[in-house]
Amino acid sequence: MTAIASASLPPRLRRSLLSVPAINERALQKAHGLDCDGVIFDLEDSVAPARKAEARDNLKRFFAETPLRGRERIVRINALDTDDAGADLDTVLALNPDAVLVPKVTTPSDIIGICARLDRARAPKGLRVWAMVETPRAVLEIGAIAGTRQGHGARLDALVVGLNDLRKETGVLPQPGRAYLLPWLMQVVLAARAFGLDVIDSVFNDFRDEAGFAGECAQGRAMGFDGKMLIHPAQIEAANRHFAPGEAEIAEAQAIIAGFAAPGAEALNVIEIGGRMVERLHLEQAERLMHKVRQISARKDIA
C-alpha cells in the first residue's frame, strides 16, 4: 500500500488511548464507562514478571465476559525478545483485538517479523500492528520502520511514542515543553505521514497536573499527532478536546467542500475561497476532517 493510497482511507478516532493494566481487574471493568477512543490492554510494563500469566488470564476472561464495544481494542504485548512474547501473541490470536502494540521496536525486521508470525497463524487481516518508538535506534531508523507498511509490514497501522524509555536511554531530563525531544518527535511524525500511518504522542506521567497535561496535548496537536496515550481516566476529556477539530477548522473544511461542490468547480484543481487559493488536495483533507467530526458526533449520540 502506498502512502497516497493509505491517506485516502477514512480516519479512525484516536484522540485518547487509555492504557489499562491487564492485571488490574477493577480497572478493566471501569473501561466500559469511559469516553476514550481506544483502550490499550497492557501486558508489559504495568505487570510484574511473576504475574504475566495471571494478566493474560484476566484479559481472556474480560474479552469473553464483557466485550468492550464502541472503542478500539489494542493489546500491548511484551517485547519480542522476551520469554512472554509467544504466550502474549497466542493470547492476542485468541482474543482477536483490533491491534497488537509491540514495544521496544528497534528495526524494520521487528515489524516484518511480527507481521509474518501473524500471517503464519492466519490472523484476520483486520488485526493491525502498532509500534512503540521508545529507543534511540528506533528513532534513527524510524523512516525504514514506517516504510515496512508498503511491503511485508503491511499490517502496520500506527506509531506510538514512548518517551519514558527514550529519556532513560538518552539521559534527556523530563522538562516542561520537551524542548530537547522535539526534533525526535517531529521525526516520528514525519515518518508516519510519509507512509500513511497514524501517530500517537507519549504519556504524560503526572495525571494530577491538569495544566501541564493540557499544554502537552495542545503541543502534540500542533505538531501533527493524532492523539495521546493516557495513563489515567482523568486525562480523557482534555485529550478528546485538544485532539478534536476546532470550530474554525470545521468552518474552513465546510467552506472548502462547498466550494468544490459549486457548479463549474468539479473540473477545477484550484478555486478561490475568501481571497485565498485552495487546491483540490485541500478538499481531501477537508473531507477527512469532516469524517472525524461525524465520528465524534456519533460517539456523543451513543454516550
Same domain, 234 and 263: no
pLDDT surpasses 90 at 5: no
Asked whether the predicted pLDDT for residue 303 surpasses 60, the reply is no
What's the whole-number mean pLDDT along residues 295-302? 74
Checking if the pLDDT of 222 tops 70, the result is yes
Q: Is residue 4 part of a domain?
A: no
Same domain membership, residue 235 and residue 100: yes
* The pLDDT of residue 147 is above 50: yes
Q: Give the span between the Cα atoms of 238 and 82, in whole angstroms.
A: 35
Question: What cell numbers appear for 291 in the block?
Answer: 469524517
Residues 201, 294, single domain; the answer is: no
- Which residue segment(s) compose the domain that 283 sits in? 247-302
Do 137 and 84 lie in one domain? The reply is yes
Residue 230 banded pLDDT, cuts 50, 70, 90: very high
Task: Calculate mean pLDDT across residues 43-59.
Answer: 97
Same domain flag for 195 and 70: yes
Question: By percentage, how much of the chain surpasses pLDDT 90?
Answer: 85
Report DSSP letters for 156-224, one per residue: EEEEEE-HHHHHHHH-PPP-TT-GGGHHHHHHHHHHHHHTT-EEEEPP-S-TT-HHHHHHHHHHHHHHT
Same domain, 165 and 276: no
Q: Look at residue 138 and tell me if it is in a domain.
A: yes
Quickly count: other Cβ atoms within 10 Å of residue 19's Cβ.
22
Angle at 187 between CA 162 and CA 75, to 5 degrees: 35
Whether residue 192 is found in the same domain as residue 289:
no
pLDDT at 2 (0 to 100): 37
Domains: count for the chain: 2
d(CA 122, CA 62): 23
Residue 193 is predicted with a pLDDT of 96
Lowest mean pLDDT among 200-214, 217-231, 286-300: 286-300
* Residue 202 confidence class, pLDDT cut points 50, 70, 90: very high
For the stretch 114-136, pLDDT in tens is: 999 999 999 999 999 999 999 99
The whole-angstrom separation of Cα 57 and Cα 298 is 33
Are 31 and 53 part of one and the same domain?
yes
Task: Concatenate the DSSP letters of all residues of 98-161 into one string.
Answer: SEEEESS--SHHHHHHHHHHHHHTT--TT-EEEEEE-SHHHHHTHHHHHHGGGTTTTTEEEEEE
The answer, yes or no, to whether residue 197 has pLDDT greater than 80, is yes
> Could you tell me if residue 95 is inside a domain?
yes
The percent of residues above 70 in pLDDT, for the chain, comes to 95
- Return the higher-pLDDT residue of 9 and 64: 64
Question: Across all residues in the chain, what is the average pLDDT?
Answer: 93
* Shared-domain flag, residues 112 and 159: yes
Domain harbouring 90, CATH code: 3.20.20.60
Higher pLDDT, residue 264 or 87: 87
Task: Using the predicted structure, report yes or no on whether residue 298 has a pLDDT greater than 70.
Answer: yes
- Within-domain flag for 252: yes
Count each helix (H run) and each strand (E run) in the chain, helices first.
Answer: 13, 10
End-of-domain residue from the set 222, 242, 262: 242
Residues 155 and 281 in one domain: no
pLDDT at 35: 93
- Please give the biggest Cα pair distance in the chain: 68
Tell me what pLDDT residue 66 has.
79
Pair 62, 82 in one domain: yes
Q: What is the pLDDT of residue 302?
A: 53
Quote the CA–CA distance of 242 and 226 in Å, as a whole number.
10
Judge whether 6 lies within some domain. no
Tell me which residue has cell 499544554: 215
Q: Is position 7 within any domain?
A: no
Between CA 19 and CA 5 the distance in angstroms is 30
Q: Are residues 150 and 126 in the same domain?
A: yes
Q: Tell me the whole-structure pTM to 2 decimals.
A: 0.90
Lowest mean pLDDT among 3-17, 147-161, 213-227, 246-260: 3-17
Which range is least confidently modeled, 33-47, 105-119, 140-154, 262-276?
A: 262-276
25, 73, 100, 295 from 37: Cα distances, Å: 20, 9, 16, 10
- Tell me whether strands 198-201 and 227-230 are parallel, antiparallel or unpaired: parallel
Helix (H) or strand (E) holding 40: strand 38-42
Residue 206, C-alpha cell as written in the block: 503526572
Give long-range contacts, CB 8 A cutoff, 24+ apart: 108-112: 108/141, 108/144, 108/145, 108/147, 108/148, 108/153, 110/80, 110/145, 111/145, 111/148, 111/153, 111/156, 112/148, 112/151, 112/152, 112/153
